[in-house]
Chains A and B, each alone.
Chain A
Amino acid sequence: MKVSMSVNGKQVSGEAEPRTLLVEFLRYELGLTGTHVGCDTSQCGACVVHVNGSSVKSCTMLAVQAEGAQVTTIEGMAQGDELHPLQAAFREHHGLQCGFCTPGMIMSAADLLKTNPSPSEHEVREWLEGNICRCTGYHNIVKAILAAADTMRGAARAAE
């Protein structure tokens, strides 16, 4: 089947069988390999992307279900050479070691900050329920997300 959607602001289309997962379509059809497949059982969250503004596990959604949708992947977060505040904060606060879970962590955190711009540490940890990291113990990931929230609130104030 032909599938068309908007990915990172660009209209794309490609071939997908009904059984093709969204993550497979992104990685193999579009070559966007920033979205990772970790567990492939909807638990680890390495494959989190945004579909119509909400974070979802792209290993647990068919590509055909995203027909006509607006999809954002980790590749769509930076503005040119300027990292997204979450990406910059993960680098600054050593929020990653091997980096495998990082795209999912960032996409998940971005969804949280959209609805809750000032989360508590507890709220960040609760939100990351669906994202598993096997290196860092989460401590610096949480620190990075709280720092990014701070930066983004500052930017929002400056824009007013």
Chain B
Amino acid sequence: MYSFEYHRPGSVAEAAQLLTGNEDAKLLAGGMTYIPTLKQRLAQPSAVIDLGGIAELKGIKEEAGGLTIGAMTTHGEVASSAAVRQAIPALAALASNIGDAQVRNRGTIGGSISNNDPAADYPAALVALGATVRTSKRELAAEDFFTGMFETALEEDEILTAVHVPKPEKAAYSKFANPASRYAIVGVFVARTSAGVRVAVTGAGPAVFRATEMEQALAGNFSAAALDNVTVAADALNSDIHASAEYRAHLVKVMAKRAVEAAG
């Protein structure tokens, strides 16, 4: 690791102040991606601003027909939260299958979605559930937050503070996991809400995307069979040593059908 200054602010306002005018400073959440990045000398921040000491960023509360989850809430906390298991069991199940137990004990929802790894699980859930992302400056729809591979709508001096996830009527997530990392080779989150059906896909493309053809097919008939005649194009999908674009396209449909079945 290159050397850096370390700050541990006690509030979002203090963290924002530390970021202002310090363009090479980076925020540290759970560190499950950023610390390995630092160790490989792939990043050289002037300062690391650790969000671990900010109480207002932690915790889960019921609010406005859904759940508000603080950015520094760990995957383990989401997985074991009675409120999440009761209101959105698919989200608790998703969190319980991220990485391994030790990663879940440190990794956070805010860190994960700010990193926007194309194979991360949470982006699919937040887009499918129609979640709202809250930052130190504004609120925006999850769909507008994830802008591309490892890219989000966050500005340099903006801090993600929480996500608000409305309670769905039905939802489930199905993932074909890489057996070594547990990242999604393909993950599909299906949700039916009062606004309609949403299907969000992670792992398959450069960033999370909605499978609109599937959404239309499911809107009239929420069953796995409704997806039989939907085709998934491999054109824009990822190809790597783990899976070709064609195989990923195939998996999108298989995972979507499994998710619909699991949602019931």
A residues contacting B by CB (< 8 A) are: 1, 17-19, 21, 40-43, 45, 48, 54-57, 60-62, 64-65, 67, 108, 111-112, 115, 127, 129-131
Given known pairs A18-B5, A60-B31, the reply for A129 and B182 (CB within 8 Å) is yes
A42 partner, pick from B1, B6, B103, beta carbons under 8 A: B103
Closest partner residue, chain A, to B38 (CB atom):
A19
Which one of B6, B32, B39, B101 lies within 8 Å of A129 (CB-CB)?
B101
Contact of A112 among B36, B50, B99, B101 (CB under 8 A): B101
- Residue from A17, A19, A108 within 8 A of B102 (CB atoms): A108
Least CB distance, A64 to chain B, in whole angstroms: 5
- Contact flag A65-B101 (CB < 8 Å), given A19-B4, A60-B31, A60-B36: no
B102 touches A62 (CB 8 A): no
- Residues in B with CB closer than 8 Å to A67 are 8
Interface of B is mostly: mixed
Cα(A56)–Cα(B106), bound, Å? 7
Among B100, B101, B182, find the residue whose CB has the most chain A CB atoms closer than 10 A.
B101
Complex A-B: 27 CB contacts under 8 Å: A17-B3, A18-B6, A18-B48, A19-B3, A19-B38, A21-B35, A41-B36, A42-B32, A42-B35, A42-B36, A54-B76, A56-B102, A56-B105, A60-B35, A60-B36, A60-B106, A61-B31, A62-B6, A62-B31, A62-B48, A64-B6, A111-B101, A111-B105, A129-B99, A129-B182, A130-B99, A130-B101
